[in-house]
Amino acid sequence: MATQQEHNPASMASQLAKVHVNVRDDLEVTRHLFRGNPSYIVRDPVTFQTQRLDPPDYAVFIAINQSLPLGDICQNLISQEKMHKQDEERFYKFILSLHQIGFLHLPINDDKRLYRRLLEKQKAKRRQRLMSIMFLRIPLWNPDAFLTRYVRWAAPVFSRTAFIMWMALLIAAGYTIVKRWEDLTEPLSGILAAQNLGLMWITLIVLKVIHEFGHAFACKRFGGYVPDMGAYLIMFTPCAYVDATSSWGFTSKKHRIIVCLAGMYVETACAAIAVFVWSLTGPSAIHHVAYNVIFLASVVTLLFNVNPLMRYDGYYILSDLTEIPNLRSRANRYVISRLKQLVLHIPANTANMPRRLRLTLLTFGISAAIYRVMLLIAIAAVLASKLFFVGIGLATIYLLSSIVKLVRGLTAYLWHSEETAQIRRRAVAVGIVVLVIGPAMICLIPSPTRVHATGVITTQNESIIRTEVAGFVENVTVNTGDIINMGTPVAQLRNDTLLESLARATANLQSAEIRRDAFRIDQPNRSMQEAAKVKTLNRALREAEDELAQLNVRSHEAGEVTASLSPQHRGQFLEVGTPIATITSGRWRVRVLLTDEEMASAQPAVGDEVQFRSYAQPAETHEGHIVSIDAVGSRHVELIALTQLAGGRIAVDPTTFESNKPYFEITVDLPNVQRAYFRHGATGALLLHGPPQPIGTRVARKVIRFLQRLMQD
């Protein structure tokens, strides 16, 4: 029987036994089958609040009669064997729960209790006003009359024929996306550019209005009532909403699921149409709008509306498919009951629950709890990033209020609730461990520090052979993987200009020698002048011969050719300094780039032992040690394999190769790896073991760096 414990059960029967109450006449009740068992959905047409009742609860609900006091009603139910004597207090708690949600009127003349409720309501309103700054709901319109007028035009959209057409539209759009995938993904990096944000913001609002009208027309199509439509301001971003909760009273599961899916149904149809508009138009305003529609109506919808851990469409669809109404609350209660059983040895009333249902509730409850924590942190981060000082203040209040609420609730249950009265010492001990010792251990006890980084495989010795003179490639004499000796020819270049220079230098030298010999007897002074010219021209000839010899490019080192020109480069003109081949030798090494944050966590030192795994052989771990560390970080990234240009994680400017933050280079020696095991230039993962650090220190460091980045932005 659904209960809410906020009253003293010892006095509840004495206070309520003679009270006369009656169920409101305007409540709407529908019967459903969930997992083969009947349930009853009671809906308030004024507040649109719903309550699910199991058969035992419903038996009590229909037994309420104003002509009889509650004590007589309770005794009648006991005599009819619809409840047991020990359920008497739970009966009165159930009556109070119906009163609290407004399903009946219960006169209670307890001034102290009424005053406590008043204080609680005032506190709740203060908290609601604070949170409404971030989650503000603004009712704008009652669309029911409009929907009634035009539902006959929208009804065919939810027919089987329309569904088949929708499937065909999606298949055609999917084919177009596959054919033009590169064109579609190319602008993704600029989707959040400042000049596009305004257009994307307007597109999002329009799409969400269409999305909500999908829910509204579907609900109206199957006989529901849609009393409210408006806007949410979630983190200062407007999003539309519509009240289609009357669909929860539909007896057909199919109709309930169609209403939940209707928003995504029409929105994905818009995305499919936008695919064709985008593919058929060139750069223009409509082209950019279509692209925004594709992104927002597909990616954003899948991330949020389909996500069952958020109370959007996916959650209600999952609840209907699993036939578990109030899935979140039931999962939370089940997880809490299992925790009580595990930690406090309080029996959990789950013996008659099917195993599959227990597994579903446990999985969903744990996943939802983890997601709520992540969402809480994400909301705080977004607040801080949007408004900075004001946002940091709101984020701090939001986090602290959530933590205080959790601590107060846990303390009240463990130290003061009647359920833990018989095991108070154990409950108090658990509270101390959970609230004091556990957080202290997490914050203070050191834990191992590990930093994973991507590195490029190199060798101990590396020589890049470059052109010393310009020329055309005439022949390439080595291939990648060849083992060569010092002086081995690598490539042959051709330069007609150098040949002409050599011929001219030879002719000039011969002319000078003839004149020197001719003037030797009659004009010795002129002969001496020509002799000086001969020496100069000899040097020019040797320089021309040296330049010509450099067209035959040779290796300056012995080793393995790890990169070279290919035969396809024949005929290509190479400027001075162009790389022709790379010769490597010696032991394998790994070059890694670390940020200042990773350096602070790992605190590497020369000689430290590390582990390396090549992405080509991920099952093999190789031991190595650090041989050098850059003392100063640099924004210029030389290791292109680690940048986004080659699929790496470091973002650089494609023209200057400058990153937005400095990186420190670490070189690791791998002395025990055989020469033939690795490939030069390949990448792999390096694991560095830093000194143990408390988790609290790491969290504080990350928060400080996050705030520093916000200040820089």
Residue by residue, DSSP assigns 605-642 as -TT-EEEEEESSSTT--EEEEEEEE-SS-EEE---GGG
Of 321, 347, 381, which marks where a domain is finished? 321
Higher-pLDDT residue of 51, 145: 145
Tell whether 451 is covered by a domain: no
Give the confidence band of 4 by pLDDT, cuts at 50, 70, 90. Answer: very low
Q: Are residues 482 and 590 in the same domain?
A: no
Tell whether 660 is covered by a domain: yes
Q: Are residues 144 and 287 in the same domain?
A: yes
Tell whether 439 is covered by a domain: no
Task: For residue 124, give both structure tokens.
Answer: 């709740």
CB 624 within 8 A of CB 613: no
Write out pLDDT tens, residues 648-682. 888 888 888 888 888 999 999 988 887 777 888 88
Tell whether 681 is covered by a domain: yes
* End-to-end CA separation in angstroms for the chain: 55
Q: Are residues 297 and 350 in the same domain?
A: no
The reported pLDDT for the residue numbered 429 is 87
Give the confidence band of 89 by pLDDT, cuts at 50, 70, 90. Answer: confident
Higher-pLDDT residue of 399, 291: 291
Residue 172 one-letter amino acid: A
CB 420 within 8 A of CB 427: yes
Q: Are residues 142 and 31 in the same domain?
A: no
The reported pLDDT for the residue numbered 270 is 92
3-class DSSP assignment, residue 131: helix
Of 321, 341, 363, which marks where a domain is finished? 321
The reported pLDDT for the residue numbered 7 is 40
Write out pLDDT tens, residues 203-245. 888 888 999 999 999 999 998 889 889 887 765 667 788 888 8
The reported pLDDT for the residue numbered 292 is 85
Residue recorded with tokens 């073991």: 689
What does the alpha-carbon distance between residue 601 and residue 605 come to, in Å, rounded to a whole number? 12
What distances in angstroms separate CA 238 from CA 216, 262, 296, one per listed residue? Answer: 19, 21, 14
User: What mean pLDDT is reported for the chain?
Assistant: 81
Q: Are residues 631 and 613 in the same domain?
A: yes
Tell whether 349 is covered by a domain: yes
Average pLDDT over residues 375-387: 65
Q: Is the pLDDT of residue 10 over 70?
A: no
The reported pTM is 0.60
Q: Are residues 289 and 350 in the same domain?
A: no
Give the count of alpha carbons within 13 A of 122, CB side only: 6
Q: Are residues 78 and 95 in the same domain?
A: yes
Q: Are residues 365 and 389 in the same domain?
A: yes
What is the crossing angle of helices 111-132 and 389-416, to 10°? Answer: 150
What does the alpha-carbon distance between residue 396 and residue 376 come to, in Å, rounded to a whole number? 11
Q: Are residues 68 and 89 in the same domain?
A: yes
Residue 703 one-letter amino acid: V
Average pLDDT over residues 14-42: 78
- Burial (CB count <10 Å: 0-12, 13-18, 19+), residue 340: middle
Please state the domain count of the chain: 5
Q: What is the phi-psi region of residue 5: left when phi exceeds 0, alpha when psi lies from -120 to 50, beta otherwise?
A: beta
Write out pLDDT tens, residues 526-545. 888 888 888 888 888 888 88
Q: Are residues 278 and 364 in the same domain?
A: no
Q: Are residues 595 and 682 in the same domain?
A: yes
Q: Which residues contact 220 (CB under 8 A, 6 or more apart)?
A: 144, 147, 148, 151, 154, 226
Average pLDDT over residues 189-209: 71
Of 109, 144, 171, which marks where a domain is finished? 109
Tell whether 42 is covered by a domain: yes
Q: Which domain holds residue 523?
A: 467-574
Write out pLDDT tens, residues 436-489. 887 887 777 787 888 888 889 888 888 888 888 888 988 888 888 888 888 888
Write out pLDDT tens, residues 675-703. 777 888 888 889 998 888 777 777 777 77
Write out pLDDT tens, residues 540-593. 888 888 888 888 888 888 888 888 888 888 888 888 888 888 888 888 889 999
The reported pLDDT for the residue numbered 115 is 45
Q: Is the pLDDT of residue 391 over 70?
A: no
CB 559 within 8 A of CB 463: yes
Q: Are residues 270 and 349 in the same domain?
A: no
Residue recorded with tokens 């979630």: 234
Tell whether 59 is covered by a domain: yes
Tell whether 427 is covered by a domain: no
